[in-house]
């Protein structure tokens, strides 16, 4: 383990348990509540369907996933440059 990696790990542990942070220690909000694991095939299918007009609600129903889980998949794919249309748009 390099000195930088060791220092980063030390800081990470310190931040998690540091009660001097305004409002207390860090809370990982998605880690405990939502399933953030997707197979490559599922990510690809979500991406293709979304790019071809499916709405987030349609994908939620099709894959039986929570709204936030579908949104996380779309954000990940957008960072990879695979989303061709806006995903912040919400139907009324």
Average pLDDT over the chain, rounded to an integer:
77
Of residues 33 and 21, the one with the higher pLDDT is 33
The total domain count for the chain is: 2
Confidence of residue 1 (pLDDT cuts 50, 70, 90): very low
**Pair 46, 81 in one domain:** yes
**Pair 17, 50 in one domain:** no
Domain enclosing residue 56, as ranges = 34-92
pLDDT of 65: 92
Distance CA 60, CA 83 (A): 17
Please name the residues in contact with 78: beta carbons below 8 A apart, sequence gap of 6 or more.
87
- Confirm if 78 and 57 have CB atoms less than 8 A apart: no
């Amino acid at each position: 383990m390099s000195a930088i990696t060791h220092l980063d790990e030390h800081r990470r542990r310190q931040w998690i348990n540091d009660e001097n942070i305004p409002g207390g220690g860090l809370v990982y909000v998605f880690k405990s509540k939502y399933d953030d694991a997707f197979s490559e095939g599922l990510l690809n299918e979500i991406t293709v369907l979304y790019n071809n007009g499916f709405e987030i609600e349609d994908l939620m129903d099709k894959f039986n996933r929570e709204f936030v889980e579908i949104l996380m998949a779309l954000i990940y794919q957008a960072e990879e440059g695979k989303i061709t249309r806006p995903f912040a748009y919400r139907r009324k």
